[in-house]
């Protein structure tokens, strides 16, 4: 099998990302591409235009010195200057006009064929940015109750061994946290790597399941003040939350909304669409805790230097290792994919569902913002860190060191968690 080689990406990868973006919105009308005004999603017609503008800005204009292709592009699509709640009111082009602009940008990049170290960096930045927005489009479709997208990715049946449960023991010790590569694209918040000391700990071998979380719900977990932090209880009361956001109880059984369909709750799939407050309350109920970032990253690797890039080693992810790339358009059983286990026996630490950690999103020591200064720095301090990716994450994007971050009240994203023993 092919080993993973640290790399930057090229125009062909950008074209692949663009095909996926267009597939994700192919069935939606102009009206659906605007959708209701919500504080947790973007209007999709704005979002796909923003993706193209970002590529034009960083590759064609910043890197290649080209003039803007769209005279109004900066006023419409610069997310650092266009406030979120104004994006529904902008004079956005139609869906067809937006796709025409997207095509012009990718064609211009293809004909220019930028190359060299700087070109590799900005092509990869543009690629990963589009991959992230592709994942955001999938959870926007879920939030708005749209049908599941029809994608060209092939569905593969996951492999199982026996159902697994219980904790893995991680002996702790000195550990280098963050990305240690010096010859590939790295997001600024993964730099600069530094040594930490981790006490021995036990971490669950799988993510918390729907079945486990249902016991917390049925035991009155959402009604018991003592299980919630002050901020969490305030959120619970404001949201009037009694169970995960897409769950429904009918005729003695739990159902959940999956895009526009109600399906029976899959007991051994990871719980998802739970926010940090819900995960934190569950941990108190279960006598557990969320892992720190350092614990999570150590458990996902081999715990020593040189550390593994992925739980299973340095080999690029395949469908046998991890549920990624929207290949199955859903989560899978937490006991599936034993080939993806970490050195300590933790399963599915990459893919299936993002996992909340205990940590606030803060800079590593010596942090220096990258060229895209708005990527990390504005969000330090009030977001929580998630690790590992989900079923909609692109396999080329995710590694053991990748740091995602959301506000602790967000439960629209594909997020769950695993726990540690106290």
- Identify whether residues 258 and 385 lie together within a single domain: no
On whether the CB atoms of residues 124 and 302 are closer than 8 A, the answer is: no
Domain count within the chain:
3
What pLDDT shows up at residue 270?
A: 98
What is the tens place of the pLDDT at every residue in 332-384? 999 999 999 999 999 999 999 999 999 999 999 999 999 999 999 999 999 99
235 in any annotated domain: yes
What is the tens place of the pLDDT at every residue in 152-173? 866 677 777 778 999 999 999 9
Query: Lowest-pLDDT range, 7-21, 94-108, 120-134, 146-160?
Result: 146-160
6 in any annotated domain: no
Distances from the Cα of 69 to the Cα of 44, 102, 340, 344, angstroms: 21, 10, 44, 51
- Identify whether residues 104 and 129 lie together within a single domain: yes
On whether the CB atoms of residues 349 and 311 are closer than 8 A, the answer is: yes
What pLDDT shows up at residue 6?
A: 42
155 in any annotated domain: no
What pLDDT shows up at residue 7?
A: 53
What pLDDT shows up at residue 152?
A: 86
- Identify whether residues 47 and 124 lie together within a single domain: yes
- Tell whether the model's pLDDT for residue 5 goes beyond 60: no
Phi, psi values for residue 262, rounded to 5°: -90, 130
The domain containing residue 247 runs over which residues? 211-264
Rounded average pLDDT over 212-217: 98
154 in any annotated domain: no
- Identify whether residues 205 and 242 lie together within a single domain: no
- Tell whether the model's pLDDT for residue 2 goes beyond 50: no
What pLDDT shows up at residue 183?
A: 66
Taking the C-alpha atoms of residue 126 and residue 173, their distance in angstroms, rounded to an integer, is 37
- Identify whether residues 205 and 310 lie together within a single domain: yes
Distances from the Cα of 303 to the Cα of 3, 351, 353, 405, angstroms: 20, 20, 22, 23
Q: Among the three residues 222, 238, 264, which one is the final residue of a domain in this structure?
A: 264
* Residue 173: CB atoms within 10 Å: 13
Query: Lowest-pLDDT range, 115-119, 190-194, 225-229, 275-279?
Result: 115-119
Taking the C-alpha atoms of residue 290 and residue 281, their distance in angstroms, rounded to an integer, is 10
What pLDDT shows up at residue 1?
A: 27
- Tell whether the model's pLDDT for residue 4 goes beyond 50: no
- Identify whether residues 31 and 134 lie together within a single domain: yes
What pLDDT shows up at residue 136?
A: 98
Instruction: Measure CA of the first residue to CA of the last residue in the chain; give whole Å.
Output: 39
What is the tens place of the pLDDT at every residue in 219-240? 999 999 999 999 999 999 999 9
Task: Tell which residue, 355, 408, 326, 402, has the closest CA to residue 136.
Answer: 326
- Identify whether residues 309 and 331 lie together within a single domain: yes
- Tell whether the model's pLDDT for residue 199 goes beyond 60: yes
Name the DSSP letter for residue 260.
T
What is the tens place of the pLDDT at every residue in 60-69? 999 999 999 9
- Identify whether residues 284 and 381 lie together within a single domain: yes
What percent of the chain is modeled with pLDDT above 90? 88
49 in any annotated domain: yes
DSSP 38-81: -TTS--HHHHHHHHHHHHIIIIIIIIT-PPPSSTTHHHHH-TTT
- Identify whether residues 351 and 364 lie together within a single domain: yes
Q: What's the pLDDT band for 9 if we cut at 50, 70, 90?
A: confident
What pLDDT shows up at residue 8?
A: 60
1 in any annotated domain: no
DSSP 195-259: EEEE--EEEESSPPBHHHHHHHHHTTTTT-GGGS-HHHHHHHHHHT-SS-TTEEEETTEEEEEET
Q: Helix, strand, or coil here: 136? A: helix
404 in any annotated domain: yes
274 in any annotated domain: yes
- Identify whether residues 302 and 257 lie together within a single domain: no
- Identify whether residues 20 and 66 lie together within a single domain: yes
Q: Among the three residues 85, 114, 143, which one is the final residue of a domain in this structure?
A: 143
Looking up residue 117, the CATH number of its domain turns out to be: 1.20.120
b/e 208-225 (16+ beta carbons within 10 angstroms → b): bbbebbbebbeeebbeee
What pLDDT shows up at residue 154?
A: 62
Query: Lowest-pLDDT range, 181-190, 232-241, 243-252, 276-285?
Result: 181-190
Looking up residue 201, the CATH number of its domain turns out to be: 3.90.1580.10
- Identify whether residues 303 and 185 lie together within a single domain: yes
Average pLDDT score over the chain: 94
């Amino acid at each position: 099998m092919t080993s993973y080689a640290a790399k930057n990406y090229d125009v062909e990868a950008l074209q692949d990302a663009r095909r996926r973006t267009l597939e994700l919105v192919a069935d939606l009308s102009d009206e659906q591409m605007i959708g209701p005004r919500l504080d947790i999603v973007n209007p999709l017609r704005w979002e796909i235009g923003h993706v193209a503008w970002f590529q034009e800005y960083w590759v064609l204009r910043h890197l290649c010195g080209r003039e803007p292709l769209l005279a109004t592009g900066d006023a419409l699509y610069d997310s650092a200057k266009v406030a979120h709640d104004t994006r529904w009111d902008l004079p956005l082009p139609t869906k067809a006009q937006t796709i025409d602009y997207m095509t012009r940008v990718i064609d211009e990049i293809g004909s220019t064929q930028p190359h060299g170290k700087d070109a590799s960096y900005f092509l990869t930045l543009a690629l990963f940015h589009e991959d992230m927005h592709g994942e955001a489009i999938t959870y926007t479709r879920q939030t708005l109750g749209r049908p599941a997208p029809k994608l060209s990715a092939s569905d593969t049946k996951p492999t199982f061994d026996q159902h697994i449960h219980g904790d893995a023991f991680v002996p702790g010790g000195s550990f280098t946290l963050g990305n240690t590569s010096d010859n590939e694209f790295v997001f600024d918040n993964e730099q600069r790597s530094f040594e930490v000391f981790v006490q021995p700990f036990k971490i669950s071998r799988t993510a918390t399941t729907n079945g486990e979380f249902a016991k917390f719900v049925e035991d009155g977990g959402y009604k018991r003040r003592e299980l919630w932090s002050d901020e969490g209880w305030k959120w619970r009361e404001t949201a009037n939350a009694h169970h995960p956001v897409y769950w429904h109880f009918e005729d003695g059984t739990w159902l959940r909304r999956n895009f526009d369909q109600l399906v029976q709750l899959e007991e051994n799939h990871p719980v998802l669409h739970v926010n940090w407050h819900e995960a934190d309350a569950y941990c108190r109920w279960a006598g557990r805790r969320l892992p720190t970032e350092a614990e999570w990253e150590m458990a996902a690797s081999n715990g020593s230097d040189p550390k593994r890039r992925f739980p299973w080693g340095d080999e690029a992810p395949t469908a046998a290792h991890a549920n990624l790339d929207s290949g199955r358009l859903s989560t899978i059983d937490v006991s599936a994919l034993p080939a993806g286990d970490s050195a300590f026996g933790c399963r599915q630490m990459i893919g299936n569902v993002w996992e909340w950690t205990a940590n606030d999103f803060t800079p590593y020591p010596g942090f220096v913002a990258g060229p895209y200064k708005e990527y990390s720095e504005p969000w330090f301090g009030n977001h929580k860190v998630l690790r590992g990716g989900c079923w909609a994450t692109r396999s080329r994007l995710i590694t053991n060191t990748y740091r995602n971050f959301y506000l602790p009240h967000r439960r629209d994203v594909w997020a769950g968690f695993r726990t540690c023993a106290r």
